[in-house]
Amino acid sequence: MFKIFKRLTAISIVFFLVLFIYASIGISGQDELPTGQTLSEVKTRVLSTLENEMENAGFRWGAPVFLRIFKDVKFPGGYRAYGRRNKSYGENGVLEVWVQRNDQFCLFRSYAVCYFSGSPGPKTEQGDYQSPKGFYFVTPQRMNPYSSYHLAFNLGYPNVYDRAHERTGSALMVHGNCCSVGCYAMTDPKIEEIYLLVEAALSAGQPFVRVHIFPFPMTDENMEAAEGSQWIDFWKNLKEGYDFFENNKVPPNVEVSNRRYIFKVEEVAPAAFPVAGSPSPQAHPGDALD
């Protein structure tokens, strides 16, 4: 009987050891950043210069980043039904990269969006040629160095808000190749820098990168010009998140309640700011937005 007990104990120990190793591999694999030949080539060509530019601008390489996209910085300018190509900054679409310095985020660089589609309204269904607007985030699993569009990361549309409004669609990205329907397409040199900045932050421990997408800068003047639109209530909700960042220079925690976005302050001391404006480890953004 004793020999049988010893044998069962040994088997149990081996079984739980295998389970522990498997679980550990699974957990680490979830946060592992993908790599590939294209990304390796880009790093060889771009990384050193970009690191120096970050340092010269007073930022630490790998510091937390926050992305903000405006579909039209010249609102209330006109739209075509779909398809708009932009050649320089200030001409419609802009993607901003903000980097944490001390306890606030500061603008590092603005990039012209090379191509997008649709109107200032939200994306509502698969195949509507619309680019999403709202509050999204990028995790390591959403980085795609194997993209057919040079480099890409998935925005995570539809999020909880989108699904609460029964909106459909998938694989909405920020990517290169300056060609897309529904995504935000950059030129290849621009997506290379953006991708490396996001990857560096994730690699340094930022669990996710927030991406806030607006149809236009949500200033009081622009909102007044937008009165009468069928989307004015949606835009007013977006403006709450826009104003939060404008006033605090820290992105808010974003949740969804009663089919509306709500915005909360994260109580984090400046000295303990690994990721300013992010949920605590117990409150992953997936609880609210994914």
Active site residues: 175, 183
Report the distance separating Cα 202 and Cα 67, nearest Å: 13
Instruction: Please list the alpha-helical segments (H only) found in 168-219.
Output: 188-203
Tell me the residue ranges of DSSP E strands in 1-121.
65-70, 84-85, 94-101, 104-112, 115-116
258-281 residues labelled b (16+ CB within 10 A) or e (exposed):
eeebebeebebeeeebebbbbbee
Q: Which residues pair with 58 in a beta bridge?
A: none
The amino acid sitting at 197 is L
Report the distance separating Cα 193 and Cα 191, nearest Å: 5
Q: By 3-state DSSP, what share of the chain in percent is helix, strand and coil, each rounded to 5?
A: 35, 20, 45
Residue 274 phi, psi dihedral angles, 5° rounding: -65, -35
Element (H, E) at 257: strand 253-257
Element (H, E) at 53: helix 48-56
Report the distance separating Cα 171 and Cα 174, nearest Å: 10
Report the distance separating Cα 59 and Cα 54, nearest Å: 5
